[in-house]
Amino acid sequence: TSTGIDVRQFYATLDADWGQLLIGKDFTLFNRSNVFLDEVLLGYGNVNDTLGLVDGQGVSFGNLGSGYTYPFPASQIRYTSPSFGGGFKVAVAAVDPSPVNGDADREESAPRFEGEVTYSGTFDDASVTAWVGFLSQTSESDMGDVDSNGASYGVKVGFGGLSLHASGYSGEGIGILLGPTEVALGLAPITMYDPTTYNALDSEGYILQASYKMDANRFVLSYGENEIEDTDYIGHEGMQAAWFYGYNSNVTFAVEYSTSEFSGILGQEEAQTLAVGAIVNF
Protein backbone atom coordinates (compact mmCIF):
# COMPACT_ATOMS: atom_id res chain seq x y z
CA THR A 1 0.00 0.00 0.00
CA SER A 2 1.04 3.66 -0.26
CA THR A 3 1.56 3.68 3.51
CA GLY A 4 4.39 1.19 3.19
CA ILE A 5 2.54 -1.35 5.32
CA ASP A 6 3.04 -4.87 3.95
CA VAL A 7 -0.51 -6.22 4.05
CA ARG A 8 -0.24 -10.00 3.66
CA GLN A 9 -3.84 -10.94 4.45
CA PHE A 10 -6.98 -8.88 3.85
CA TYR A 11 -10.05 -10.86 2.90
CA ALA A 12 -13.66 -11.74 3.61
CA THR A 13 -15.09 -15.25 3.87
CA LEU A 14 -18.52 -16.76 3.45
CA ASP A 15 -18.98 -20.02 5.37
CA ALA A 16 -21.82 -22.49 4.85
CA ASP A 17 -22.53 -26.21 4.85
CA TRP A 18 -21.15 -26.40 1.31
CA GLY A 19 -17.74 -25.01 2.34
CA GLN A 20 -15.99 -21.65 2.45
CA LEU A 21 -15.64 -18.91 -0.17
CA LEU A 22 -12.75 -16.48 0.33
CA ILE A 23 -12.41 -13.19 -1.57
CA GLY A 24 -9.41 -10.93 -1.01
CA LYS A 25 -5.67 -11.21 -0.40
CA ASP A 26 -4.23 -14.30 1.27
CA PHE A 27 -1.44 -16.86 0.93
CA THR A 28 -1.78 -18.84 -2.28
CA LEU A 29 -2.31 -22.61 -2.40
CA PHE A 30 0.78 -23.89 -4.25
CA ASN A 31 3.34 -25.16 -1.69
CA ARG A 32 1.18 -23.77 1.12
CA SER A 33 1.12 -26.99 3.16
CA ASN A 34 4.82 -27.56 2.43
CA VAL A 35 5.49 -24.24 4.17
CA PHE A 36 2.97 -24.21 7.00
CA LEU A 37 3.90 -27.75 8.09
CA ASP A 38 7.64 -27.01 8.11
CA GLU A 39 9.03 -28.10 11.50
CA VAL A 40 11.32 -25.05 11.68
CA LEU A 41 9.00 -22.50 10.09
CA LEU A 42 9.21 -20.17 13.09
CA GLY A 43 12.93 -20.69 13.54
CA TYR A 44 15.68 -18.45 12.20
CA GLY A 45 16.05 -20.41 8.96
CA ASN A 46 18.56 -19.81 6.18
CA VAL A 47 20.44 -16.58 5.58
CA ASN A 48 21.69 -15.89 2.08
CA ASP A 49 23.07 -12.69 0.53
CA THR A 50 22.60 -14.05 -2.99
CA LEU A 51 18.84 -14.42 -2.58
CA GLY A 52 18.51 -11.34 -0.39
CA LEU A 53 17.45 -13.03 2.85
CA VAL A 54 19.58 -10.93 5.20
CA ASP A 55 20.20 -7.27 6.05
CA GLY A 56 16.55 -6.30 5.91
CA GLN A 57 16.09 -7.41 2.30
CA GLY A 58 13.79 -10.28 3.17
CA VAL A 59 12.91 -12.91 5.71
CA SER A 60 15.00 -15.91 6.69
CA PHE A 61 12.51 -18.13 8.51
CA GLY A 62 12.05 -21.80 7.66
CA ASN A 63 13.36 -23.30 4.43
CA LEU A 64 12.38 -20.57 2.01
CA GLY A 65 14.36 -21.18 -1.19
CA SER A 66 15.75 -24.51 0.06
CA GLY A 67 12.84 -26.93 0.19
CA TYR A 68 9.91 -25.00 -1.23
CA THR A 69 8.88 -21.75 -2.89
CA TYR A 70 6.94 -19.13 -0.95
CA PRO A 71 3.14 -19.03 -1.46
CA PHE A 72 3.28 -15.25 -1.81
CA PRO A 73 0.00 -13.58 -0.78
CA ALA A 74 -2.08 -12.45 -3.76
CA SER A 75 -5.60 -11.31 -4.59
CA GLN A 76 -7.78 -14.34 -5.19
CA ILE A 77 -11.17 -15.99 -5.13
CA ARG A 78 -10.86 -19.33 -3.34
CA TYR A 79 -13.25 -22.15 -2.55
CA THR A 80 -12.52 -24.71 0.18
CA SER A 81 -14.77 -27.72 0.59
CA PRO A 82 -15.97 -29.08 3.92
CA SER A 83 -14.24 -32.21 5.19
CA PHE A 84 -15.47 -35.38 3.49
CA GLY A 85 -14.52 -39.03 3.10
CA GLY A 86 -12.97 -39.31 6.54
CA GLY A 87 -10.61 -36.34 6.37
CA PHE A 88 -10.30 -35.03 2.80
CA LYS A 89 -10.58 -31.38 1.78
CA VAL A 90 -10.34 -29.71 -1.63
CA ALA A 91 -9.37 -26.08 -2.27
CA VAL A 92 -9.25 -24.30 -5.65
CA ALA A 93 -8.49 -20.67 -6.42
CA ALA A 94 -8.41 -18.14 -9.24
CA VAL A 95 -5.43 -15.92 -8.42
CA ASP A 96 -4.23 -12.57 -9.74
CA PRO A 97 -1.52 -13.71 -12.21
CA SER A 98 2.12 -12.61 -12.08
CA PRO A 99 3.79 -10.82 -15.04
CA VAL A 100 6.42 -13.50 -15.59
CA ASN A 101 7.11 -12.46 -19.19
CA GLY A 102 9.34 -9.40 -19.13
CA ASP A 103 8.35 -7.98 -22.53
CA ALA A 104 6.70 -4.55 -22.64
CA ASP A 105 3.65 -5.91 -24.48
CA ARG A 106 3.15 -8.87 -22.16
CA GLU A 107 -0.28 -9.67 -20.77
CA GLU A 108 -2.00 -12.29 -18.65
CA SER A 109 -5.44 -12.84 -20.19
CA ALA A 110 -6.55 -15.42 -17.61
CA PRO A 111 -6.09 -15.86 -13.86
CA ARG A 112 -3.52 -18.16 -12.36
CA PHE A 113 -5.24 -21.33 -11.20
CA GLU A 114 -4.10 -23.16 -8.08
CA GLY A 115 -5.51 -26.07 -6.13
CA GLU A 116 -4.77 -28.44 -3.28
CA VAL A 117 -6.23 -31.69 -1.96
CA THR A 118 -5.41 -32.49 1.67
CA TYR A 119 -6.05 -35.44 3.95
CA SER A 120 -5.80 -35.43 7.74
CA GLY A 121 -6.51 -38.43 9.95
CA THR A 122 -5.68 -39.96 13.31
CA PHE A 123 -5.22 -43.64 14.11
CA ASP A 124 -4.79 -44.60 17.77
CA ASP A 125 -1.63 -42.72 18.79
CA ALA A 126 -0.65 -41.83 15.21
CA SER A 127 -1.58 -38.93 12.93
CA VAL A 128 -1.21 -38.47 9.16
CA THR A 129 -1.46 -35.38 6.98
CA ALA A 130 -0.92 -35.68 3.21
CA TRP A 131 -1.45 -33.30 0.33
CA VAL A 132 -1.03 -32.69 -3.41
CA GLY A 133 -1.39 -29.36 -5.21
CA PHE A 134 -1.00 -27.65 -8.58
CA LEU A 135 -0.35 -24.27 -10.19
CA SER A 136 -0.91 -23.09 -13.78
CA GLN A 137 -0.69 -19.74 -15.55
CA THR A 138 0.45 -18.23 -18.88
CA SER A 139 2.18 -14.88 -19.45
CA GLU A 140 1.89 -13.85 -23.12
CA SER A 141 3.73 -11.51 -25.49
CA ASP A 142 4.37 -11.15 -29.23
CA MET A 143 7.90 -12.51 -28.74
CA GLY A 144 6.79 -15.64 -26.89
CA ASP A 145 4.64 -17.05 -24.11
CA VAL A 146 5.97 -18.23 -20.75
CA ASP A 147 4.00 -21.06 -19.14
CA SER A 148 4.24 -21.64 -15.40
CA ASN A 149 3.06 -25.07 -14.25
CA GLY A 150 3.85 -26.98 -11.08
CA ALA A 151 2.90 -29.79 -8.72
CA SER A 152 3.42 -29.86 -4.95
CA TYR A 153 3.09 -32.82 -2.60
CA GLY A 154 3.97 -34.06 0.84
CA VAL A 155 3.20 -36.14 3.89
CA LYS A 156 3.66 -35.61 7.62
CA VAL A 157 3.22 -38.42 10.12
CA GLY A 158 3.34 -38.39 13.88
CA PHE A 159 3.62 -41.20 16.39
CA GLY A 160 3.91 -40.34 20.06
CA GLY A 161 6.50 -37.60 20.31
CA LEU A 162 8.07 -38.40 16.92
CA SER A 163 7.14 -36.47 13.77
CA LEU A 164 8.43 -37.06 10.22
CA HIS A 165 7.93 -34.67 7.30
CA ALA A 166 8.71 -35.21 3.60
CA SER A 167 7.50 -32.82 0.92
CA GLY A 168 8.50 -31.39 -2.43
CA TYR A 169 7.52 -29.71 -5.65
CA SER A 170 8.45 -29.73 -9.34
CA GLY A 171 7.47 -27.67 -12.32
CA GLU A 172 8.44 -25.17 -14.98
CA GLY A 173 8.50 -21.40 -14.91
CA ILE A 174 8.11 -21.21 -11.12
CA GLY A 175 11.63 -20.20 -10.10
CA ILE A 176 13.49 -21.08 -6.93
CA LEU A 177 12.22 -18.66 -4.28
CA LEU A 178 8.81 -16.98 -4.71
CA GLY A 179 7.08 -18.99 -7.44
CA PRO A 180 5.63 -16.82 -10.25
CA THR A 181 5.95 -13.77 -7.97
CA GLU A 182 9.74 -14.12 -8.30
CA VAL A 183 9.48 -11.66 -11.19
CA ALA A 184 9.31 -8.88 -8.56
CA LEU A 185 12.96 -9.61 -7.69
CA GLY A 186 14.08 -9.27 -11.32
CA LEU A 187 15.03 -12.96 -11.44
CA ALA A 188 12.49 -14.16 -14.02
CA PRO A 189 14.91 -14.22 -17.04
CA ILE A 190 17.40 -16.17 -14.89
CA THR A 191 15.36 -18.58 -12.79
CA MET A 192 12.04 -18.87 -14.66
CA TYR A 193 12.56 -18.78 -18.44
CA ASP A 194 15.19 -18.51 -21.15
CA PRO A 195 14.99 -14.91 -22.49
CA THR A 196 16.10 -15.99 -25.98
CA THR A 197 13.70 -18.90 -26.52
CA TYR A 198 11.04 -18.10 -23.86
CA ASN A 199 11.13 -21.75 -22.83
CA ALA A 200 10.23 -22.15 -19.17
CA LEU A 201 13.03 -23.49 -16.96
CA ASP A 202 12.46 -26.67 -14.95
CA SER A 203 12.84 -26.47 -11.19
CA GLU A 204 12.28 -28.77 -8.23
CA GLY A 205 12.81 -28.95 -4.50
CA TYR A 206 12.22 -31.12 -1.47
CA ILE A 207 12.55 -31.16 2.29
CA LEU A 208 13.11 -34.00 4.79
CA GLN A 209 12.61 -33.45 8.52
CA ALA A 210 12.42 -35.32 11.80
CA SER A 211 11.39 -33.89 15.16
CA TYR A 212 10.92 -35.31 18.63
CA LYS A 213 8.89 -33.69 21.41
CA MET A 214 9.60 -34.53 25.04
CA ASP A 215 7.69 -32.54 27.65
CA ALA A 216 8.33 -28.86 26.86
CA ASN A 217 11.30 -29.65 24.59
CA ARG A 218 11.21 -30.20 20.82
CA PHE A 219 14.30 -31.24 18.82
CA VAL A 220 14.41 -30.90 15.01
CA LEU A 221 16.74 -32.04 12.21
CA SER A 222 16.03 -30.69 8.73
CA TYR A 223 17.49 -30.85 5.20
CA GLY A 224 16.10 -29.22 2.07
CA GLU A 225 17.16 -28.08 -1.37
CA ASN A 226 15.84 -26.29 -4.45
CA GLU A 227 17.43 -26.46 -7.87
CA ILE A 228 16.99 -25.34 -11.47
CA GLU A 229 18.46 -27.60 -14.14
CA ASP A 230 19.04 -26.11 -17.60
CA THR A 231 22.11 -25.07 -19.54
CA ASP A 232 23.21 -23.40 -16.31
CA TYR A 233 22.69 -24.84 -12.84
CA ILE A 234 21.27 -22.97 -9.86
CA GLY A 235 20.96 -24.72 -6.51
CA HIS A 236 20.42 -23.92 -2.84
CA GLU A 237 20.81 -26.38 0.06
CA GLY A 238 19.90 -25.75 3.66
CA MET A 239 20.36 -27.80 6.85
CA GLN A 240 19.16 -27.03 10.37
CA ALA A 241 19.45 -28.53 13.83
CA ALA A 242 17.20 -26.82 16.35
CA TRP A 243 15.99 -27.01 19.95
CA PHE A 244 12.73 -25.35 20.98
CA TYR A 245 11.63 -25.00 24.60
CA GLY A 246 8.02 -24.06 25.31
CA TYR A 247 8.23 -21.78 28.34
CA ASN A 248 4.48 -21.17 28.35
CA SER A 249 1.63 -20.85 25.84
CA ASN A 250 2.97 -17.50 24.62
CA VAL A 251 6.77 -17.83 24.73
CA THR A 252 9.05 -20.43 23.14
CA PHE A 253 12.84 -20.23 23.41
CA ALA A 254 14.89 -21.43 20.44
CA VAL A 255 18.49 -22.38 19.65
CA GLU A 256 19.20 -23.15 16.00
CA TYR A 257 22.30 -24.00 13.98
CA SER A 258 21.95 -23.78 10.20
CA THR A 259 24.08 -24.08 7.09
CA SER A 260 23.28 -22.66 3.68
CA GLU A 261 25.07 -23.40 0.41
CA PHE A 262 24.19 -21.61 -2.83
CA SER A 263 25.79 -22.39 -6.19
CA GLY A 264 25.24 -21.54 -9.84
CA ILE A 265 25.32 -18.66 -12.28
CA LEU A 266 24.13 -16.19 -9.62
CA GLY A 267 27.26 -16.86 -7.58
CA GLN A 268 28.76 -19.15 -4.96
CA GLU A 269 28.01 -18.67 -1.27
CA GLU A 270 28.23 -20.65 1.96
CA ALA A 271 26.93 -19.52 5.33
CA GLN A 272 26.83 -20.99 8.82
CA THR A 273 24.59 -19.45 11.46
CA LEU A 274 23.97 -19.96 15.17
CA ALA A 275 20.79 -18.24 16.34
CA VAL A 276 19.48 -17.90 19.90
CA GLY A 277 16.18 -16.20 20.63
CA ALA A 278 12.53 -16.43 21.54
CA ILE A 279 9.23 -16.79 19.67
CA VAL A 280 6.43 -14.72 21.18
CA ASN A 281 2.76 -15.27 20.32
CA PHE A 282 0.01 -12.95 21.47
User: 226 and 69 in contact (C-beta within 8 Å)?
Assistant: yes
How many domains does the chain divide into? 1
Cα–Cα distances (Å) from 257 to 179, 223, 237, 243, 276, in that order, read 27, 12, 14, 9, 9
Best-predicted range by mean pLDDT (4-8, 115-119, 188-192, 267-271): 115-119
Decide if pLDDT at 87 tops 60.
yes
* Model pLDDT, residue 103: 67
Residue 270's CATH number: 2.40.160.10
Give percent of the chain with pLDDT exceeding 70: 94
Whether the CB-CB separation of 273 and 258 falls below 8 Å is answered with yes
End-to-end CA distance of the chain: 25
Structural domain contains residue 125: yes
- Considering only CA atoms, which of 233, 77, 91 is closest in space to residue 152? 91
Tell me: the pLDDT tens digits for 212-271? 999 999 999 999 999 997 767 889 899 999 999 999 999 999 999 999 898 887 778 898
**What confidence score (pLDDT) does residue 233 get?**
81
As a whole number, mean pLDDT of residues 28-36 equals: 96
Establish if 1 belongs to a structural domain: no
Taking only the tens place, the pLDDT of each residue in 200-216 is 899 999 999 999 999 99
Residue of 215, 133, 127, 144 lying closest to 168 (CA atoms): 133
Does an H or E element contain 35, and which?
helix 32-36
Round to whole Å and give the CA distance between 39 and 279.
14
Domain for residue 95, yes or no? yes
Residue 24 domain boundaries: 15-280
Q: What is the pTM of this model?
A: 0.90
Whether 3 maps to a domain, the answer reads no
Q: pLDDT tens, 62-81?
A: 888 889 999 999 999 999 99
Residue 49 has pLDDT above 80, yes or no: no
The Cα–Cα gap between 159 and 126 comes to 4
pLDDT value, residue 189: 84
Whether the per-residue pLDDT at 105 is higher than 60: the answer is yes
